[in-house]
Amino acid sequence: MSRVEQITASPEGTQDLAKDFASGLRRGDVVALSGDLGSGKTTFVQGLAEGLGVKGNVVSPTFKLVNEFSGKVPLYHIDFYRIQSTREILVIGLEHYLFGDGVTVIEWADLYPDIIPKGTIRVCFEVISQNERWIVVDREGDR
Under the binding rule (CB under 6 A), the answer on residue 14 touching ligand ADP is yes
**Binds Mg ion (CB under 5 A): choice among 39, 42, 46, 67:** 42
Nearest-angstrom CA–CA distance, 119 and 46: 23
**By rule CB under 6 A, what string of x and - marks binding of each residue 106-135 to ligand ADP?**
-x-----------------x-----xxx--
Under the binding rule (CB under 6 A), the answer on residue 67 touching ligand ADP is no
For ligand ADP, which is the closer residue by CB, 110 or 132?
132
* Minimum distance of Mg ion from residue 41's CB (angstroms): 5
Nearest-angstrom CA–CA distance, 127 and 7: 10
Q: Which residue is nearest to ligand ADP (CB)?
A: 40
Nearest-angstrom CA–CA distance, 84 and 143: 33
Nearest-angstrom CA–CA distance, 123 and 90: 23
Element housing 3 (H / E): strand 2-8
Nearest-angstrom CA–CA distance, 26 and 131: 30
**Binds ligand ADP (CB under 6 A): choice among 26, 37, 63, 85:** 37
